[in-house]
Chain A
Amino acid sequence: MSPGETDAIFLVDQASLRATHGLDESTFDDVRFVGAALSPRVPELIEDFYVWLRGFSDFARFFADPRMLQRVKAQQNDYWTDFLAADVDDAYVERRRVIGRTHARIELGLLIYLLAMEFVSAWLRRAIEADERLRAKATAALSIRKLIAFDSAIVVDTYGALTAQNLDDHRERLHHVASVMRAVTEGDLDHHIALAGPGDILGLSLNDLVDSLRGVAKGMETIAGGDYSAQPTPRSEKDRLGKSLLAMTDALRDAAERNERQMWIAETETALGQAMSGNPTMRELAQRVLSLLCRALNAQVGAQYVAEDGGATLRLAGTYATTSGLRERWRLGEGLIGQIALEKRRIIVTDIPEDGLSIHWGLGEAPPRHLVIFPLLHEGETRGVIELGALTPFCGWRLEFLDFVSVGVGQAIGAAEARARIAQLLEEARAQGEELTAQQEELRQVNDTLEEHTRALELQQENLLVTESALRQKAEELERTSRYKSEFLANMSHELRTPLNSSLILAKLLVDNRDGNLAPEQIKYAQSIYSAGNDLLVLINDILDLSKIEAGKIELDIEPTAVAALVADLERRFEPLAAERRLQFSVVVEPGAPETIETDRQRLLQILSNLLANAVKFTERGGVRLAVRREDSRRLAFIVEDTGIGIADDQQEAIFQVFRQANGAINRKFGGTGLGLSISREFADLLGGVLTVRSEPGRGSAFTLQLPLRADGAPIRLEPVIRREEPPTPAESAQTPIADDRDALADSRRIALIVEDDPAFAEILRDLARELGFKCIVAGAAGDALRLARHFRPEAVVLDIGLPDQSGLTVLELLKRDPSIRHAPIHVVSVHDYQKVALEMGAVGYILKPAKREQLVSAFRLLEERITRDKKSILIVEDESVQRAALNDLLSSAGVEIVAVATAEDAMREIGDRRFDCVVLDLMLPGVSGFEFLERISRDEARTAPPVIVYTARSLSMDEEQKLRRLSKSIIVKGARSPERLIEETTLFLHQAESTLSPEQQHMLEIARSRDNILDGRRLLLVEDDVRNIFSLTAVLEREGVAVQIARNGREALERIDVDPAIDLVLMDLMMPEMDGLTAMRAIRAREAKAALPIIALTAKAMPDDREQCLAAGANDYISKPIDVEKLLSLIRVWMPK
């Protein structure tokens, strides 16, 4: 807004103003009149005014500048001169307005103007009154006053208007200034204020202030940035901020430098500490220390020497940035290094001549200009010396730090030396320890081996003892049996002799033909009877003797016997016999032979008779000789020699054994029982003597009987009491109490073996069997049954379980294991319920007693059916013709019909047409695959699928095997031994009993059995890799209505659990491949959603801490293998969520 436009608010024009103030030309004339006189005195007026004005307080404010006063005085001079001219027009008014504006602008109070006008008015009035001439003009003073009032009105008006305007401007500006100030106060120094004009002091000041603050701020920022180089200049003496800033900068700079040094020292100390830590070797230590010091002290080369030989020499331990050529050793006192070591004080060398060591870098080299060499001290001793070289002087205060280094590194060297010594000792100790450990381990292994051998020997000994005792037992048993046999024979012989005696007597009577009424022919017959009877008697006597001896029943009758009489007796008996065979016979009692011998005469005679009889019998030509010779003081020998056929060496012992002779043919040729020599030897034995033989085939034999001159009176063996110690063995004792058809078996067809210990029921069964056209054999005990079965090979068996000696189940198992009878169907009839076991073992049926007749009839019918179905049939499914033929050959045997087809389609047709006992299936088939075939026949509701043996050359994956196991009975992989296994398995299936229940019946039974529905429809995950357990547990659980899923290891279990959220319970085995049960349980528990899933662990482990482990891993409960099914089911019921 330019001034002037609105600077007259009240005045409309000067004319109306003039009128208001009562001004007219006369007024002006008056003023001009006065003016004419007083204008020259205007300067006087001004001076007077200023004299007056000095009394006012604002004076100094306005007129500090003398030029200003001068200028104002001139203006005032002009003003009053103009006033006194009283040329009042617009220009005059305008000039007054300028005054008003100026006052307003410089904010000169209006009061001072008005006082000034008043002063002038008073001054002029006084001047008028002092002048006669002027005084005369009466209106002059009034006119002056009027015009002054007019002037004042204009000035006041303009001033007022402008001041109002100014006030507004000021307010606004102040506002602006205030806002900038506020910003400054808040720290915002970005704003300058626009200057109102060159005289805008406020604006200038403010901007100055901002600039100044900015300067300070910038300075502070620089300092804050760590730059203390800027030296802030204070703006004036009074610039406290500036001065403070300067002081602060200085203080900070000092502090920073101190800090930096301390920091450097601290860092370098730390770095040194680190460099020396970690048990470095001497060389490592030197390298690290040098590297650190060179960097810290701005040195370029360095070397460290270490004191050796108790400080006498210094050896180079490490260098920094040097090339080769450094001296390795210094003696103490030698060179600077040696000197410093001696003095233990630091030295600094500057301005070094250029012919020493150089500092090398990539682009060149130069000798170091400055050196510092200082000792490394430890406990007052020099442990080494460090030398550093630099191109620039070393920093003074940093060198002070070397004192610290000196001691620190000295200590480190001491430590390193100690460590090296310890390490060496340790190494020695370790090596010795290792050696010891190795020796110990070796010793332990040797010990273990020894222990194994020792234990093996012990075990052998233990086993030997067991075997020995078993053998002894066996021997005792044998002996006992043998004794029973002998007793039996002894008894029998008596029984035989009695009737034989009478026949001999009667035969003799007939031979004698006392009445003479027999024809010669008849007499001859009677002689034959007599002779044969005699032979028989001899035999019986021999047997009797022998059995008596063996039974220990021989009684000896020891008495003095005259030798001469004895031999004479023998000579009498055998002379004629020898003569008859044209043999020489001689008896010689050699000189020195005693006259008598104390022995059992009868037995002695028997022995010698036997020997002589044999000699005569086996000698064709030559002679037989009996010699008696004294052997020594206590023994007498009887020698029977012949020139007969002799006996081969290997037969010489055999002839003494019961029922054996050198040659069976000889026995037949020469007659005799073959018992004689055995008996003779037994008698010799009894008499305390020995019977031996020397012989050469074709040259003759010599039997020598040596007897003691005086036989012991006591019988050699104790007389046993005849008694039955042993319970009768079943086979012998279980006399069939009821009659059967064993003696009337025309052929072995349709023979039924009835094993039943209750005679009444056995009879019922027998009658029923006979009724149905069976021949019957009845056994009352297991032993009998087995014996009879093996002997008669029955076609069918009816078996009781409760037998007196062994369980019928044993009979069942043994029969099923015997290839010769395993095919015979076995039907069990028993009070005991072993139905499941028996059927599994191969029984065709099972009836519980008491049984109705109809049941028994149907049992026999079932057996009948099985027998008539005697053609067993095998279906072979194999596409390869050579293989097919080979299988056909392999499996074909009597009673087996084989159908061989090439495709699964043909096989299904065959199975549809007829029944097979077994199917042998190749998996790789054209068209429908083996898998598919299995699936189909197992799905077939109409008939039970025959057992299938998968016979494949293909290797199977785990999954395939799992699947096949479900569908087939057995899987055989082709190989060298597979035919053998194939035969075994097919045989098993051909004769294996099937369950008598139809599938529907089985199903109904299963439903009836599954009594509780808590398990019905529940989902259970069985994690187990043992195939047997999988199948048995699945079967049990499925019977209860549980849907069982299988996982074969922990990993699979987790997959299943993640996929199927509906699993109610988990059975978890522990020992599994890939992921074990404990890990799996932990993983399950780690899943938040499965925290409550019941898990029962199955484990073979039995220890309490195993159980702990299971529970700790997250199992709810635990069951030990082998698994008790009932226990498991109740556990499952307990844990199954309701």
Chain B
Amino acid sequence: MIALDSDAKAEIELDLLLEAIYRLHQQDFRGYARSSLRRGVARAQIALRCETITDLLDRIVHDDGAFTEALRYLTIQVSDLFRDPGYYRRLRETIAPHLATYPSLRIWIAGCGTGEEAYSIAILLHEEGLLGRSLVYATDIDKESMAVAQAGAYELFRMGGFAENYHRSGGRAALSDYFVARGACATIVPFLKQRILFCDHSLATDAAFAEMHLISCRNVLIYFDKALQDRVIGVFRESLCPRGFLGLGPNESLAVSRHASSLELLSTNEQIYRVK
């Protein structure tokens, strides 16, 4: 037997865990960035009181509830309405006029999480008079998040921050116009939901499914390793119509991607690309 240090063993354990999750739940984390995964798994270990990753593996294999619990720590959900207002301002001011030249629009929010981005885009499209001819595909792998997204209900205390973002993004109305307060939550008004299609789609394993005019995928790629990033951008590239737009998170870039040459960067600050 080869003597391994504990780090090497932990790597093996992590591999086994990811393989088990993939085969049991069809959630493919194998192409996710290892460093981030290691931290996520460590947090899950604490939350589920598991001494080792193997203990966690044991729990996850034999207890579906444990998987759901652990999944919360493996996927990162940070989102606000109009998060990074500059991005939405750029979409509104620069990209929307281009989108307006198409008779019908398809927009893909890849990794929609709990729906904030999808609704931000829907509000933006509505204000630009484009929502009626748009279809927004909002996809994610986490079914629980998707359920939250579909409900479109957010804690009231978050609304203040949302509203500030909204105005900084160039919002012209009152954000509260788009919400109905119910109890401790504000629920998005139904007409904004009508053009959004929430679907289960895994960027790690699934393919392109429709031609898109705009794909917004923010703070998703950062959790992927290089190979998976390339795969995902390939899927995006395949989905985008000629001269279509791709928006990424502020810390994401195509600079080192295999597909860098087929997309041009429109705005350094906002990481918005356009098919050459």
Beta-carbon nearest neighbor of A1098 in chain B: B209
Please state if B208 and A1121 are interface contacts (CB–CB under 8 Å).
yes
Contact of B211 among A462, A956, A960, A1027 (CB under 8 A): A1027
Please state if A459 and B251 are interface contacts (CB–CB under 8 Å).
yes
A467 and B210 alpha carbons, distance in the complex (Å): 33
* Chain A residues closer than 8 Å to B208, beta-carbon distance: 1100, 1121-1122
* Chain B residues closer than 8 Å to A817, beta-carbon distance: 276
B256 within 8 Å of A (CB atoms): yes
A972 within 8 Å of B (CB atoms): yes
* Chain A residues closer than 8 Å to B133, beta-carbon distance: 955-956
B179 within 8 Å of A (CB atoms): no
* Chain B residues closer than 8 Å to A451, beta-carbon distance: 36, 39-40, 76
* Chain A residues closer than 8 Å to B143, beta-carbon distance: none
Beta-carbon nearest neighbor of A447 in chain B: B43
Q: Within B17-59, which residues are at the interface with A (CB < 8 Å)?
A: 26, 33, 35-36, 39-40, 43
Please state if A981 and B256 are interface contacts (CB–CB under 8 Å).
no
Q: Within A995-1032, which residues are at the interface with B (CB < 8 Å)?
A: 1025-1029
Contact of A1026 among B199, B209, B219, B252 (CB under 8 A): B209
A460 within 8 Å of B (CB atoms): yes
B66 within 8 Å of A (CB atoms): no
Interface residues on B, range: 35 or more
Please state if A466 and B256 are interface contacts (CB–CB under 8 Å).
yes
Please state if A971 and B103 are interface contacts (CB–CB under 8 Å).
yes
Please state if B36 and A458 are interface contacts (CB–CB under 8 Å).
yes
Contact of B101 among A456, A978, A1028 (CB under 8 A): A978
A214 and B200 alpha carbons, distance in the complex (Å): 82
Min CB–CB distance A974 → chain B (angstroms)? 8
Min CB–CB distance B67 → chain A (angstroms)? 15
B255 within 8 Å of A (CB atoms): yes
Contact of A956 among B39, B104, B209 (CB under 8 A): B104
Give the one of A972, A1099, A1103, A1121 with max B CB within 10 A. Answer: A1103
Min CB–CB distance B89 → chain A (angstroms)? 16
Q: Within A958-995, which residues are at the interface with B (CB < 8 Å)?
A: 958, 960-961, 964, 971-978, 980-981, 984
Please state if B137 and A961 are interface contacts (CB–CB under 8 Å).
no
A437 and B86 alpha carbons, distance in the complex (Å): 33
A458 and B209 alpha carbons, distance in the complex (Å): 31
A457 and B200 alpha carbons, distance in the complex (Å): 29
Please state if A1071 and B201 are interface contacts (CB–CB under 8 Å).
yes
A1099 and B208 alpha carbons, distance in the complex (Å): 9
B78 within 8 Å of A (CB atoms): yes
Given the interface contacts A958-B104, A1025-B210, A1105-B26, does A454 sit within 8 Å of B36 by beta carbon?
Answer: yes
A1034 within 8 Å of B (CB atoms): no
Q: Mark B228-263, 1 if CB is under 8 A from A, else 0.
A: 000000000010000100000111110110000000
Min CB–CB distance B149 → chain A (angstroms)? 15
A984 and B242 alpha carbons, distance in the complex (Å): 11
Min CB–CB distance A469 → chain B (angstroms)? 10
Min CB–CB distance A503 → chain B (angstroms)? 52
Please state if B206 and A452 are interface contacts (CB–CB under 8 Å).
no
Given the interface contacts A975-B101, A976-B100, does A452 sit within 8 Å of B207 by beta carbon?
Answer: no
Please state if B104 and A1121 are interface contacts (CB–CB under 8 Å).
no
A755 and B74 alpha carbons, distance in the complex (Å): 55
Give the one of A977, A1072, A1076, A1106 with max B CB within 10 A. Answer: A977
Please state if A1101 and B210 are interface contacts (CB–CB under 8 Å).
no
Given the interface contacts A458-B33, A973-B103, A1120-B207, does A448 sit within 8 Å of B78 by beta carbon?
Answer: yes
Min CB–CB distance A444 → chain B (angstroms)? 7
Please state if B104 and A449 are interface contacts (CB–CB under 8 Å).
no
Min CB–CB distance B18 → chain A (angstroms)? 15
* Chain A residues closer than 8 Å to B190, beta-carbon distance: none
A844 and B238 alpha carbons, distance in the complex (Å): 26
* Chain A residues closer than 8 Å to B43, beta-carbon distance: 447
B191 within 8 Å of A (CB atoms): no
B205 within 8 Å of A (CB atoms): yes
A146 and B151 alpha carbons, distance in the complex (Å): 131
Please state if A467 and B256 are interface contacts (CB–CB under 8 Å).
yes
Given the interface contacts A458-B33, A1071-B199, does A1100 sit within 8 Å of B209 by beta carbon?
Answer: yes
Min CB–CB distance B234 → chain A (angstroms)? 11
A455 within 8 Å of B (CB atoms): yes
Q: Mark A1023-1059, 1 if CB is under 8 A from B, else 0.
A: 0011111000000000000000000000000000000
Contact of B206 among A976, A1027, A1073, A1102 (CB under 8 A): A1102
Contact of B222 among A456, A975, A1121 (CB under 8 A): A456
Give the one of B33, B137, B210, B252 with max A CB within 10 A. Answer: B210
Please state if A956 and B97 are interface contacts (CB–CB under 8 Å).
no
Min CB–CB distance A936 → chain B (angstroms)? 21
Q: Within B200-223, which residues are at the interface with A (CB < 8 Å)?
A: 200-202, 205-211, 219, 221-223
The 9 closest A-B pairs by CB, nearest first: A456-B251, A1100-B209, A1026-B210, A976-B97, A975-B100, A977-B97, A1103-B26, A466-B256, A956-B103
A contact residues vs B (CB 8 Å cutoff): 444-445, 447-449, 451-452, 454-460, 462-463, 466-467, 470, 817, 952, 955-956, 958, 960-961, 964, 971-978, 980-981, 984, 1025-1029, 1069, 1071-1073, 1076, 1099-1106, 1120-1122
